[in-house]
Amino acid sequence: MYFENKLSFAQQLDQQDPLARFRDDFHLIQKDGQAMVYLCGNSLGLQPKSAKDAIDQELKDWAELGVEGHFDGKNPWMYYHHFLTEKAAHIVGARPSEVVIMNNLTANLHLMMVSFYRPTATRYKIMMEVSAFPSDMYAMETQARFHGLNPEDAIIELKPREGEYTLRTEDILAQIEANKDSLAIVMMGGVNYYTGQAFDMKTITDAAHKVGAMAGFDLAHAAGNLYLQLHDWDVDFAVWCTYKYLNSGPGGTSGVFVHERHGNNPDLVRFAGWWGHDEKERFLMKKGFKPMEGAAGWQLSNAQIFPMAIHKASLEIFYQAGFINLVNKSQILTSYLEFILEGFKEHLTVITPSDPRARGCQLSIIVKKDGRKLFDFLQSKHILPDWREPDVIRMSPVPLYNSFEDVYRVGEALTEYYKTN
Ligand SMILES: *Cc1c(COP(=O)(O)O)cnc(C)c1O
């Protein structure tokens, strides 16, 4: 695509963008009476304006109906997860029965590992990317210990080649093959939080299955960002949070995908709670767990209505915009940011792959000198990227609320900074 580093060019792209109107559906962060260029959607998505009404509705039903809200509320709490599954499933490329919204991300990751990591004496290894998000490292480490294994031995970390920042698919496949007799599960991010690299989940899943291992993904940075086809890719399970690209509020609820070939297997080992029990019999309060069909059979507790209400409102915006439209815009918007950053390559190295199939909207930038100083300068110019130790600035132009002009403003600030630095 042809780009220009000019305000008029960026504004023209915004005028032609059929999704531009969705920016108005969000509260943009204001500082000194000016809207910030918010590039942290990878960390915490902006607040949809509809979130407040969604919460107010549930507060109202609670105030007016008390416990009767479970059945008589506008959105009866008893069935709340059903209101979310269809739209959430669409975002991850799943069938509605394969998805459930519940709990928080790390809790769900553990629940999935309980079911899908069943180590034996010979097949017990977990493969993950090196420098995964810390919660995932700790989860895998303690899962290994839970089964009496030594994490040093049980966990295989995939490392980039010397001098490279990201993983090559061929190297991941070679590692799977090299561990074909001992590998129990591949559990990786869909997009690495630090480098912004999106992994080829279909190819990795196929390779894991070929050697008799499971494949699960943490989609924290992928859900609402990448085009996903979890069902068709034959992924065994996946988990994600909803507060990053899915704009559902700090600490918000989480999503789980369980492929239908597992979801309908009542014998699969799991840690259960009453909300996963067959809905028709749940209130008979009887002994003997009988799971709901599909991912819903992993629910533990009655629904957390307030975070789910925000998620419901947020999913509605994705539905209106059309997820595929968002992905298409995202690729152009991020390519525009890449083009702008190219102009500063003497100072900045983008470590995120340039192949649009190997990334979402995030670009991770290593600043060759004084990264923190540049970061502070950008903030002073009303631009809000995020900083990750030791030396990376992450910028994520999000198609729902970022504009081409936002991206242009980044270049404008960089030009000013590098005049004197
Ligand atoms: C954001 C993120 C988390 C956070 O986990 P919570 O349980 O929501 O606190 C975990 N893993 C990855 C890969 C993340 O990006």
Q: What is the pLDDT of residues 142-198, one digit of tens each?
A: 999 999 999 999 999 999 999 999 999 999 999 999 999 999 999 999 999 999 999
Q: Give the number of the atom of ligand 1 that is nearest the alpha carbon of residue 105.
A: 7
Question: CB–CB of 239/255 below 8 Å?
Answer: yes
pLDDT by 10-residue block (mean), the chain, 421 residues: 96 98 97 94 98 98 98 96 97 98 98 98 98 96 98 98 97 98 98 97 98 98 98 98 98 98 92 94 88 97 97 98 98 98 97 97 96 95 92 96 98 97 90
Residues 124 and 32 in one domain: no
Q: 21 with 116, same domain?
A: no
Q: Do 388 and 311 reside in the same domain of the chain?
A: no
Residue 102 and residue 132 in one domain: yes
311 with 338, same domain: the answer is: no
**What pLDDT is recorded for position 267?**
84
Question: From the CB of 115, is ligand 1 less than 6 Å away?
Answer: no
Q: Is 82 helix (H, G, I), strand (E, B) or coil?
A: helix
Domain boundary, last residue among 289, 319, 349:
319
Question: Residue 259: what pLDDT?
Answer: 98
Which pLDDT score, from 0 to 100, does residue 391 have? 84
Looking at residue 389, what is its pLDDT?
Answer: 83
pLDDT number for residue 283:
84
Specify the pLDDT at position 79: 94
**Ligand 1 centroid distance, CA of 319 (Å):** 24
Same domain assignment for residues 101 and 162: yes
d(CA 282, CA 279): 5
Q: Which of 206, 240, 208 is nearest to 226 (CA)?
A: 240
For residues 201 and 250, state if they share a domain: yes
Exposed (0-12), middle (13-18) or buried (19+): which is 301, by Cβ within 10 Å?
exposed
pLDDT at 229: 98
**Residue 282: what pLDDT?**
85
Any atom of ligand 1 within 6 Å of the Cβ of 218 = yes
Number of domains in the chain: 2
pLDDT of residue 285: 83
Rounded to two decimals, the pTM is 0.97
State the residue for tokens 């590098």: 418
Residue 1 located in a structural domain: no
User: Does ligand 1 lie within 6 Å of residue 220's CB atom?
Assistant: yes
Q: Is residue 212 located within the same domain as residue 80?
A: yes
Does residue 47's CB lie within 6 angstroms of at least one atom of ligand 1?
no
Ligand 1 nearest atom to the CA of residue 107, by list position: 7
Instruction: Look at residue 41 and tell me if it is in a domain.
Output: yes
Q: Same domain, yes or no, for 352 and 327?
A: yes
CATH number of the CATH domain containing 157:
3.40.640.10
Q: Provide the pLDDT for residue 241.
A: 98
Q: Clarify whether residues 256 and 108 are in a common domain.
A: yes
How far, in Å, is the centroid of ligand 1 from the Cα of 239?
A: 10
Last-in-domain residue among 319, 354, 374: 319
In a domain, 2, yes or no: no
Residues 204 and 243 in one domain: yes
Q: Is the CB of 189 under 6 A from ligand 1?
A: yes
The boundaries of the domain holding residue 391 are 7-47+323-420
Among 104, 135, 140, 388, the mutation site with the greatest number of ligand 1 atoms within 8 A of its Cβ is 135
CATH code, domain with 377? 3.90.1150.10
Q: Is the CB of 179 under 6 A from ligand 1?
A: no
Question: Is residue 352 located within the same domain as residue 280?
Answer: no
- Asked whether 125 and 321 are in contact (CB, 8 A), the reply is no
